[in-house]
A and B are shown apart, each in its own frame.
Chain A
Amino acid sequence: MDTGPVGRATTAPSPPHAGKAAPRGELEIAGLSCRRGDQTLFSGVSLSLASGELLFVRGRNGSGKTTLLRILCGLTEPATGEVRWRGQPIRRLEEAARRELLYVGHRDAVKEELTPLENLDIHQGLRGERGDLERQLDALEEAGLGGREDIPVRYLSQGQRRRTALARLLVSPARLWILDEPLTALDRSAVAWLFERIAAYLREGGIVVTTSHQSIDGLPEPRILDLD
């Protein structure tokens, strides 16, 4: 019916347990398609991610990467298809299950007038986690914001602002990270740090879905979803 640019999803490399008897992954995506206006952004996206897997979503500008990520965390409703997290529909997760998901969006939810430390504290409060000052300071230190914990974010650079957002990954326990363009504005050392962090997280059994326009050499071998 629509003749807009229809993205074809290819998942490669395919999971080793292909076939009917595939064990359920933790994040299951079935037959997703998305429409904006009367254009179809992508359709027929199906895959399943198990513990320790990294999914890299690739595509041109406007191919629907951000939208796909938003669908994955349940912000946007897909035109067709569904997303399940451990068997539960993503838009109807229970409280405990919602804590397992951590999303750092394109718009990074950092408040300009607050300090990195306050931002982190708000973030934890919102997720119902107990704010632990030591842990928060450690996270900021590791994210390269040592000594700047107490300066309102509006006086910091874009990259430091982004680091503030990414420091959340360190304070919140979660099973699934969804990171939209996390490398934007990061310098080389920060990128290296983030890749290392992601690798460690995957080794611990976490799942990561991410996008980027930059090179991802240095990350563990990802599964790739091409939206073009």
Chain B
Amino acid sequence: MRRDLSLIVTRRQDVLTVVAFFILVITLFPLALGPDPQKLRTLAPAGVWVAAALASLISLDRLFADDWRDGSLEQLLLAPEPLTVVALAKVAAHWLALGLPLVVLSPALGYALGLEGAELGVLAVSLLLGTPVLSLLGAVGAALTLGVRAGGALMALLILPLYVPVLVLGAGAVTEAMYSSAFYAHLSLLGALLAAALPLLPLAIAGALRIALD
């Protein structure tokens, strides 16, 4: 099953596209803001996090669409495995392929925006805890908008508001790390969100998939 899912999900080109998108969005910030390092530094946590949220959104847009079109999703539903497990596995595979590269890259990009030392570590950890939640939420949106006209735009409307807490806590952790060391609270809250999302959101994804295929 794991093999199958990684086969379904992993397309090298997709990974490249999403990573390139992530980097490009981050590049836009200094270009729009001007090269003043101090200003850039202040904006760095927000920049990286917003870019990560957008990258997650665009990469998740097609999460179930191909499987839906060619009928694989029906087979997933009929598989002996409970649908929640299948959904979780699919999101996990997606995150490993497309979310993890962003986490790995983030210190380099943070550095380019003027973050340093421990801040880079906090940035990476916050993304490590936060992006799985984004993936799970986005997967709910992707499942809800399956087979819907203008699904991509609609998905953004549905899901971006739900991204707010993760964004607040994630970017907040890095900002905290810049001024004091009180970022543990942010990180542990992010962890709590992840812990709540992991068992609950797959249920929502499975429910949404059932509705889409009914």
Contacts and interface: CB of A to CB of B under 8 A. Distances in A.
- A and B associate: yes
Interface of A: 70, 73-77, 95-96, 98-99, 101, 103, 105-114, 118, 121-123, 125-128
22 contacts: A70-B74, A76-B214, A95-B80, A99-B80, A103-B78, A105-B71, A106-B71, A107-B69, A107-B71, A109-B70, A109-B71, A110-B70, A110-B71, A111-B8, A111-B72, A123-B75, A126-B4, A126-B79, A126-B81, A127-B80, A128-B80, A128-B81
B202 to A, nearest CB: 17
Interface in B1-60: 1, 3-4, 7-8, 11
Contact of B1 (A76, A110, A112, A128): A128
Given A106-B71, A109-B72, A112-B70, 11 more contacts: A75-B74, A77-B214, A96-B80, A98-B79, A103-B74, A108-B70, A109-B70, A111-B8, A114-B7, A126-B76, A127-B80
B213 interface: yes
B77 interface: yes
Given A114-B7, A118-B7, A125-B1, A108 B80 contact: no
A106 B71 CA distance: 8
A76 B77 CA distance: 11
A101 B78 contact: yes
Nearest 9 CB-CB pairings of A with B: A107-B71, A109-B71, A125-B4, A95-B80, A122-B4, A109-B72, A98-B80, A109-B75, A126-B79
Interface of B: 1, 3-4, 7-8, 11, 69-72, 74-81, 213-214
Given A74-B78, A126-B4, A126-B76, A111 B214 contact: no
Contacts, number: 66
B70 A75 contact: no
A105 B3 contact: no
Question: Does more than half of chain B's interface fall in helix, strand or loop, or is it mixed?
Answer: helix
A128 B7 CA distance: 16
B4 A107 contact: no
A114 B72 CA distance: 13
Contacts of A122: 4, 7-8
Nearest to B7: A122
Nearest to B66: A111
B79 to A, nearest CB: 5
A128 B71 contact: no
Contacts of B1: 125-126, 128
Contacts of B7: 114, 118, 122
A77 B211 CA distance: 10
Nearest to B82: A95
Nearest to A122: B4
Interface centre among B3, B4, B76 (most CB of A within 10 A): B4
A175 to B, nearest CB: 14
